[in-house]
Structures are given as C-alpha cells and as structure tokens.
Chains A and B, each alone.
Chain A
Amino acid sequence: MTEINLDTSSVRSLNVKLQGAASGDNFNVSNTGGKHAVSVGLTTAINVGINGHVGYYCAGMNQQANITIKGNAGPGLAENMMSGKVHVTGNASQYAGATAHGGLLVIEGDASSRCGISMKGVSIVIGGNIGHMSAFMAQSGCLVVCGNAGDALGDSIYEARLYVRGKVASLGTDCIEKEMRAEHKEQLEELLKQSGMSHNVDEFRRYGSARKLYNFDIDQVDAY
C-alpha cells in the first residue's frame, strides 16, 4: 500500500504515480481538501482509496482502475470513464458520469442534476436521489436510481435504460415508462449486487426512449 498525502504532495505528482502504476498496486490518498482532477487518466487495474472530499473531475476518463472515494465528490465525477469502477460513499455534484463509455459508477448518497448526461455505455447506480435533467441525451448504458429522480428525467434520451425505485418528478421529452421484463430485472439485480445495494427489483420502474424524435419531423416541433 502506497500512502500519498495531498498536504505534502501535489495533484500532479499523485497523478504521475497513479498513471505509472502496475495492475494490482494499491494506493491510499489522504488530505484531498476538495482538490480538482484527483486520480484522473488512470489506465491500469490498480486500487485507489481516497479519504476525503474531492473537487471537479475526480476519476475522469478512468480506464480499468478501482477507485473508492470515502467522502463527497464535486462536479464531473468519473466523466467519460471508459472502464473500471468508481465508488463514492457520500454525495456527488452535477454531471456525475457525464459521457462515460463504460465501467461502473456507484454513488451511495445523492447525485445532483445532469447525472449521466450523454452517457455512452456506463452503468451508474445511485443509492439516493438524483437531480433534474439527469440522463439528458443519454445514448446507452444503465442508470439505476434507488431513491427519487428530479424533473425532466431522460430528456431527449436515445438507447440508455433508466431504472428508478422512487418517484420521478417528471419525464423529459421523448422519455416514457417501459415494461419491466425478465431481462431487465436480471440486469438490475446484477447491477445492484455489484454496487453492494440490496433492494427488491420489483420496486423499480423502467424508463427509456419513445424513439419519436430520432429523425427530425416538422410535425414534432412542439416537442422541443
């Protein structure tokens, strides 16, 4: 286990160490102080424990690494993540998992607005609630919300799947409730298990695209 104290070490030297580490290496980062761009651009299957709150873009563009943040995360958590796992024990600010292509993002607490915006294949599991405009233009992947979802969920959504256990304040344009079939329950069960959450999948509803806005049609102009 390599200890890195951000009181005495810069974010630059932290990222150089993490980006150069071999798969299987273990790191523990302390005194994060809300710093930005912590643990970004990792490319190997290392384990990084971050003790404390982090600022913008923590775990950005992660590939393969397993990153756990014991605290809260600022905007753009795990943005454009490609693979690996990012787990936050607290809450996350806006745009968590934005444009992420793969991997698993777990937020035990709440996530703010625009969670999963333009997501492109990632799986995101939220223990609490999510804010407005989440999964806006979500292309593919899964967003699981164990609490409630804010306004305009899934606005202009493409092929992503949304599972919500609680209430949805409102659905966005072209987002509709869809049937929860066996394959969806199976997928949800697996995601909850991987995230360490235990809920009955029968309590969830599924939402996705009505696919009415996939090609511009002047008769749909009032939808925009």
Chain B
Amino acid sequence: MSKDNPTLIESATFPRHIIAEIQRAASTGIYDIRGFGAKRALPSFDDLVFLGASTSRYPLEGYREKCTTEVVLGGRFAKNPIRLKTPITIAGMSFGALSAQAKESLGRGATIAGTSTTTGDGGMTPEERGHSKILIYQYLPSRYGMNPDDLRRADAIEIVLGQGAKPGGGGMLLGQKISPRVAQMRNLPEGIDQRSACRHPDWTGPDDLEIKIQELREITNWEKPIYVKVGATRVFYDVTLAVKSGADVVVVDGMQGGTAATQDVFIEHVGIPTLPAVRLAVEALQEMDMHRKVQLIVSGGIRSGADVAKCLALGADAVAIGSAALIALGDQSPEFDEEYKALGSAAGFWDDYQAGNDPAGITTQDPELAKRLDPELGGRRLANYLNVLTLELQTLARACGKSHVHNLEPEDMVALTMEAAAMAGVPLAGTNWIPGKNGF
C-alpha cells in the first residue's frame, strides 16, 4: 500500500524491486552481476537469545573475572598450529577484488587484534604478508599467483572448495579491475575478464583431495595447518569428507557470505543460511568424535559479538568476517553518499564491488580511488571493531557463567522462531520443543 495513496496496493508477487529487475533484464539482456552477499531476509542468529545466569546458573563478574578468548587452530597434524588472541578471523579476500591499501588495512587491523587474515584469488602480495602477523594462504582452483615460496611463507593453507555466496560457482574478475599489477600476478593480459575456475584442475573428489593434502604437507614440511573451506550446502557430508581427507580445520561459509562479483541469482538462491550450517557441521564433527580436534570456523553474515557468541555456542571454534570488515574500513560510509548516489546507489546499499569504481577506495584498482583509504587508519578502525566484537562476546559468555568463550553451549540459548529452533537445534523459547527432535 502506498503511503501517499492508500488505494494503491503493491503486489507481494511483483513488488517494485522485482519489477525493476524485470525491466533491467529486458533492457540489457544480461543477468545482474554484483558483489556483497545475500540481501533477502533469512533465519539468522537474531532469532536466538541467550539464557543469562540467574538462580540455576552462576554468572561471572564483568570487569573482574576472566573470560578468555584464545583459540588454537590446526593441531591435528600440523607442527605449527595457529594461535589467535580472539576467535574472530578475517576471511579470504583477494588483491584484485580489493585494493592493495585495503589488503594492507586488513593485515594491520588483524595483527593489532591478534588474529589472522587470509589471501584470496590472485596470490599473496608483499603488503599483506608484511602487515599480517598471521596470514592464511588460500589454495584456489584458478591457482592465480600460486607458488611454493608463498606456500612456505604462509602460516596456514586454506584449500577453497567453495564459498557461501556461490557454492558450485567460480569467480570472475571483470576487465575493468585488471590493472597491470593484477594482470602480472595472474599471468594474463591486462583488461580481459579473468575467470576463476569453479573446481580444482588436478583432482576430482575427496579421495584425490586426501592425496592433494598429503602433497601440500610434504611441500611445507608438515608445518602448516591445512584448512578446507566449503560453501554451505550439504554441510554434514562435506564436513565429514573434509575431515576424512585430512583437514586440520574446516571452514563453512553460509549463504550470507559476501563475494566480489557473481550473479545475483547465485547469491540469493544457492546455499543454506549460516544458522543451520553451524549445527550441521558440528553434528558431523561430533559423529566422528572430531569436535574440537578438527576446528570449525564459520563465516557468512557475522556482524556482532552476539553473532560470534551464538556461533561458538552452537559449537564453532572461531568465525571469519568479510563484509563486516570492509564496512569497518569505510565501505558504505555516509561520507561518500553523494558519490554513491551519482553511481545510482547510496551509502548502505552499495554492492557494485565488481565495477572497480568504489567511492570508498576499497573494492577498486583505480589508484586515485584507492588512495582514499589510509591503511593505518583503516587498520585502526578494523582493530577497534574486532575489539568491540571480542568484548561483546566476552560479555555474553560471562553472563552465561563461562570462563572461556568455548564453554558456551547450545543449552545457553533458545530460539524466537520455530524455523530458528529447527535449524539451530535449540528449543523454542518458553518450551522444551526442538522441531525435528524426539519424533516431532
């Protein structure tokens, strides 16, 4: 119903944004490609609440009693596991998709906060290695910029089988973002669209993956933890197979996870939300008696310390943030609202990461735009944000009486909706009913 004219009724089937998309498709003949993650409303961590301690539970004093946050990742087979001060890591984002300044900012911020950052498609830049105390090196299907020296320079290796924004899909860095440096790193001509393959070139299936992991360990002297990252789809089976293949750490990325560029139809319609993905991953680990032995990192739409706490309470060992980290650097800032508007968007709505003309200077290779982000300031802002998330996480854990954030458990939470109760496997608030459990 229109605010100005109550006799006008907007169609629920054809609301204005759907009509606009049909008109856009009819006009251009091509599907919509964009960045960012799923924008539709999904069952999420907002649908869970904590049961703080009272008479039946004993809380911890907020400013006096310790609630530790350290986490160790990758000790299953690797000689040198990763040790983080906070269980909030920075997800893989490529140089190419992001400017060198943005990558440096992520490294600086993560290092101040005592956590890791992750490379992306296109290889490792000296800037991010130099500014990231703990750097995870992604091993991707395209193998752009992949070389054994960088593998050895990394602190851990993340084999990427998929990502939450587009499980089953490859990537595309459009020609407008292929600067001479990006082209040189990827061994391709400048200005052409660079496809990132959707599957690895030298194995098929989990049996081969086990041998691939053996090769990577042999090349890196069994020192580096091996992560396996999957987009959240058939999570129970994918996590089981990753563990069977020899992963030290499994990363599960829900459908709210961001991307630099893919089809809108992929972002909004493939994969499952992060909320059920955590539960399924934990169930797989528990069934193999590998929970806490193989660590679980969860990503996809993590925004607050509450989201982190709920993820950990469901059984994750750590989380990864991507879109939220970019927002902390300055993405979507009202400071650039006029420029966003000139590009047909607005602060808070910007999703054309693929276009290369990001007013905030983050998702661009334009040297003039990229200069807008001061890496020191960006790093400080990210560190502030990571510290706030950690403080919020501790606040919630203490309220539940936990002296380590890993002591949070599903029993500390209830769900506000039936969907969330079923997906997370916790009772609907005010009941002892978990849909799907005990025959109901």
Contact = CB atoms under 8 A, between A and B. Distances in A.
Contact of A82 (B148, B188, B189, B220): B148
Interface in B147-206: 147-148, 151, 172, 174-175, 186-189, 191-193, 195, 197, 201-203
**What secondary structure prevails in chain B residues at the interface with A?**
loop
B303 interface: no
A215 B172 CA distance: 11
B188 A158 contact: yes
Contact of B203 (A75, A120, A137, A216): A75
Contacts of B404: none
A118 B219 contact: no
Given A75-B208, A95-B202, A158 B146 contact: no
Given A76-B203, A82-B147, A214-B189, A36 B211 contact: yes
B218 A139 contact: no
A92 to B, nearest CB: 12
B143 A118 contact: yes
Given A37-B214, A159-B189, A60 B219 contact: yes
A79 B141 CA distance: 13
Contacts of A91: none
A94 B200 CA distance: 13
Contacts of A120: 143, 187
Given A76-B203, A98-B201, A117-B202, A37 B218 contact: yes
Interface stretch (A1-9, A11-19, A22-30, A192-200): A11-19
Interface in A119-163: 120-121, 136-137, 139-140, 156, 158-159
A41 B208 contact: no
Contact of B215 (A36, A117, A136): A36
Contact of A61 (B197, B211, B219): B219
A182 interface: no
B203 A80 contact: no
B197 A118 contact: yes
Interface residues of A, number: 42
A214 B189 CA distance: 9
Which of B30, B143, B147, B222 has the most A CB atoms < 10 Å from its CB?
A: B143
Report, as a range, how many residues of chain B touch the other chain.
20 to 34
Given A99-B201, A117-B202, A218-B30, A41 B187 contact: no
Contact of B208 (A56, A60, A82, A216): A56
Which of A36, A40, A80, A156 has the most B CB atoms < 10 Å from its CB?
A: A80
A12 B186 CA distance: 31
Interface of B: 28-30, 142-143, 146-148, 151, 172, 174-175, 186-189, 191-193, 195, 197, 201-203, 208, 211-212, 214-215, 218-222
13 contacts: A12-B218, A15-B218, A37-B211, A56-B211, A57-B215, A61-B151, A76-B212, A95-B201, A95-B202, A117-B202, A118-B142, A118-B197, A158-B188
Given A79-B202, A101-B187, A215-B193, 9 more contacts: A37-B218, A41-B220, A61-B219, A76-B203, A76-B212, A118-B197, A158-B189, A215-B175, A216-B172
